[in-house]
Amino acid sequence: MSTNTIEHNRRRQDFSGVESIWLFGYGSLIYKVDFPFLEKHPASINGWARRFWQGSHDHRGTPDAPGRVVTLIEQPGAICKGMAFRVSPNVFEHLDVREKNGYLRFSTTLTFESGNHAEGLVYIATEDNEAFLGHAPDADIARQIAQAVGPSGPNSEYLFRLAESLRTLGDECTHTFAIEAALKKNG
C-alpha cells in the first residue's frame, strides 16, 4: 500500500446523513488539535498498544531520514488511553491530509472515563504501508528520533509532547516513557 492514503481514506466511510462522529487520538492528535471539535473527553480503546513503529517522512522527518511516530499494534488485553473528539465529518478533509503518510481510518469502540461507550474512528498505520518501520530496540528508536527533523519540527519534540500529554491523561505507556528515558540519557 502506498504511503499516501488520502483518497483511500475518503472511500472508507460514508458520512451521508452523519452530523458528528467520535475520533480517537492517541498520538499528536492529543496535543496538536488543529481542527474544530464539538466536544472532547479522555477515552481509551481496548486491544491496542501504542508503538513508535511508523516512519514519518512528511512531518517529523524526511524521505531520506524518516522520523518515528506512533501507530497502534493489536495486543490482547492492552488498553490505549487517549483523547476522544466529537467532530463534524468535514473535519476529515483536513485530517486525511494530516494523517496521509500510511494511516487508514478504522472503526473502533471507545470507552470514556464514565464507563460509557461509543463507536468512533481511529487512524492506524498498519504494517503493510510503505512507511512502516516496525519494532526496534528502545535505544535505536530514541537515536533515530534524536536525529530526525521534518517540516513539523524535531522528532524529539513529538516524543516529549506526547509523553507529557500521556502523563496528564494518567497513562502509563511504558513504551513511550522508555524511549523518552533513552533519549534523555543519550541525547
Do 47 and 107 touch, CB atoms closer than 8 A? no
99 is catalytic: yes
* Residue ranges in 6-154 assigned as alpha helix (H): 6-12, 28-31, 92-98, 138-147
The single residue of 99, 119, 130, 180 carrying the catalytic annotation is 99
Rounded Cα–Cα distance for residues 145 and 157 (Å): 9
* Residue ranges in the chain assigned as alpha helix (H): 6-12, 28-31, 92-98, 138-147, 155-169, 174-186
- Annotated catalytic residues are 99
